[in-house]
Structure 1
Amino acid sequence: MEVGIGLPVSTPEVLLDWARAADTGPFSTLGLLDRIVFENPEPLVTLSVLAGATTRVRLQTEVLLAPLREPVLLAKQAATLDRLSGGRFVLGLGVGGREDDFEAVGADYRSRGRRMDEQMEVMRRVWSGADYSDTLGPIGPLPHRENGPEVLFGAFAPAALGRIARFGDGLLAVAPPQMIGAQIETVRRTWQEAGRDGAPRIVAQVNAALGPEPVIEEARTAMGGYYRFAGEMGEQFVAAMITTPEGVREAVAAYADQGVDEVMFYCYGRDPKQVDRLADAL
């Protein structure tokens, strides 16, 4: 079982401290969320900076809202980051669920699922190194990983989960251990039905804050602001946030029992010492 860290977003300047601390181990991945109408830093730019400050950990968007972006440029940006990081970049993608982000960039909210499918066709073609069209040559650079960086999809609905077998390498799941099994079963079944080799990678996300009470309260406040759009469900997410070392270890064990490959502990409090506290808890 691998364990990664989801980075806080309220103060971008502290992320270098988080990244350098996590890079010393035992963590596998640094994740960063994506929004437009929010205070978060832009994830591809930020992860590029963090790639230069680290040597070992993977760098993952979790999740990048693909329908808000033009696919050729996104493919070029992802390939560049994958190349410069030595293959450490993981492109986690989602369709998004907040209409204000789409309004801000002039994108259509209702067609976001169909648009993502079209984008993946374009990006896979760009990453292959083939001519882009009958009139245009290849669009480089070639990614470090053949046919593009690892692609994980954040998904809930069966149709969205089925996208993994067509275009992706695995699932980013926001679900408690007792509910994640059905998602994993759907992903693995559609993977086999599509004739894919190997198995999809399964990554679970859980929210956590370790430290003195001010750190935990700051995390609850920041997390509540992020999930305010979700109403009662958002309040449930905040209430379920893990705040003890025992809770961290129990979550890892519970997800391992479900066949999860990696757990990402998302930290909404800014204190970089949470990296050491999580390491000690593990």
Structure 2
Amino acid sequence: MDIGLGLPISAPARLLEWAQAAEAHRFDTLALLDRLTFDNPEPLTALAVLAGATTRIRLQTEVLLGPLRQTSLLAKQVATLDQMSAGRFVLGVGVGGREDDHSAAGTPIGRRGRLLDEQLAALREIWRGQPYRGTTIGPRPATPGGPPILIGGFAAPALRRVAQHADGFVCAAPLSWAGPLVRAVHEGWEAVQRPGRPRLVCQINVAVGSAATIDQARRAVAAYYAFTGRPGWGEPLSDPAQISDTVAAYRDFGADELVLYCYAEDPEQVGLLAEIAH
């Protein structure tokens, strides 16, 4: 099972340090979440900077809110990032469920699923060099046909979308209720008779190190998930033994990758997490 690192969002200027430490400590992926109306770095821009500071590690959006973006420009941005990272980019994408994000972008939240379906089909056509609205859009990605696509979500349409448009599934659900979601993804994959199986990427929130670091992470997670109205939602794991056991549980579950999401800024966590998770 690959181990990825979900980057903190509160200090963009420190992400170069995080990226270089993650590569040095043999993490497989750098991941960034996406929101529009939250105080986080724009993920494609940030990952493009990190591509230039690294040579091996994958760069992954987890997940980019596709309907908030104009399709042809998104195709160009992704193809550029894929080329400039020598094919290291993975496009994790989803619809986004926050009214404020869609209002700020001017996209109708009630049509977000349909918009993403149309967008995903168009992205593949653009990356193959086919005309889009009467013209071609370059550059072509380094990865033939475009980078791998992962779909994140919980609702039945999102789970079906994996087999229709993607190469894998981002399961952000706790392990205790991830099973039915993953089974639905596999059933959809088999129903359309796709060969192989979808890649399964799971994620957990973590914080290790000093009491101040752990407290900062808890406060950041609470702020990020405040919209749910559920106190304690997304609480980061901070006990090394519990993190180690959780990593082993996801490996037994059959995850292809587990991304450890950090919300505190201290990059000293990278080395500590490497010792725990590898």
TM range (shorter): over 0.9
Name which of 229, 233, 237 aligns with 1:236.
233
Q: What is the aligned length?
A: 277
CA shift, 1:57, in A, is: 0.7
The 5 Å alignment of 1:124-139 reads: 124-133=124-133, 135-136=134-135, 138-139=136-137
Question: With structure 2 as the length reference, what TM-score do the two structures score?
Answer: 0.97
Question: With structure 1 as the length reference, what TM-score do the two structures score?
Answer: 0.96
Name which of 215, 220, 243 aligns with 1:248.
243
Name which of 269, 273, 277 aligns with 1:278.
273
CA contact (8 A) 1:180 1:258 kept: no
Partner Cα distance (2:165, 2:259) in 1: 22
Report the counterpart of residue 91 of structure 1 in structure 2. 91
Partner Cα distance (2:91, 2:194) in 1: 19
The 5 Å alignment of 1:64-103 reads: 64-103=64-103
CA shift, 1:187, in A, is: 0.9
- AA in 2 matched with 1:70: Q
Report the counterpart of residue 207 of structure 1 in structure 2. 205
SS in 2 for 1:235: coil
- AA in 1 matched with 2:257: E
Percentage identity across aligned positions?
Answer: 50
CA contact (8 A) 2:25 2:271 kept: no
CA contact (8 A) 2:75 2:127 kept: yes
CA shift, 1:247, in A, is: 1.7
Per-residue deviation, residues 48-93 of structure 1 (Å, max 9, x unmatched) = 0000000111001111110100011101111111111011101010
CA contact (8 A) 1:67 1:115 kept: yes
User: Which moved further from structure 2: 2-11 or 169-178?
Assistant: 169-178
The 5 Å alignment of 1:1-282 reads: 1-133=1-133, 135-136=134-135, 138-232=136-230, 235-238=232-235, 241-282=236-277
CA shift, 1:144, in A, is: 1.2
Gaps of 5+ in 2: none
CA shift, 1:235, in A, is: 2.3
- AA in 1 matched with 2:258: V
Partner Cα distance (2:114, 2:31) in 1: 26
Partner Cα distance (1:32, 1:22) in 2: 13
CA contact (8 A) 1:5 1:31 kept: yes
CA shift, 1:180, in A, is: 1.4
Per-residue deviation, residues 157-201 of structure 1 (Å, max 9, x unmatched) = 121100000000101111222221211111111111112111100
